[in-house]
Structure 1
Amino acid sequence: MIYSFDGILVFGLLFICTCAYFKKVPRLNSWLLSEKRGVWGVFYKAAIIGTRLHVAVAMSCLAMAFYVIFLK
Structure 2
Amino acid sequence: LSSVYSFDGIVVFGILFICTCAYLKKVPRLNSWLLSEKKGVWGVFYKAAVIGTRLHHAVAITCLSMALYLVFIK
Normalising by the smaller structure, the TM-score range is: over 0.9
Aligned-residue identity in percent: 79
For structure 2, list consecutive stretches of 5 or more residues without a partner in the other structure: none
What does residue range 1-72 of structure 1 map to in structure 2 within 5 Å?
1-72=3-74
For structure 1, list consecutive stretches of 5 or more residues without a partner in the other structure: none
Please give the root-mean-square deviation of Cα atoms over the aligned residues, in Å.
0.4
Runs (4 or more) in structure 1 with deviation over 2 Å come to none
Aligned length: 72
| Partner Cα distance (1:70, 1:64) in 2 | 10
* Structure 1 residue 2, shift from structure 2 partner: 1.7
2:25 counterpart letter in structure 1? K
| Partner Cα distance (1:28, 1:70) in 2 | 36
TM-score with structure 2 setting the length: 0.96
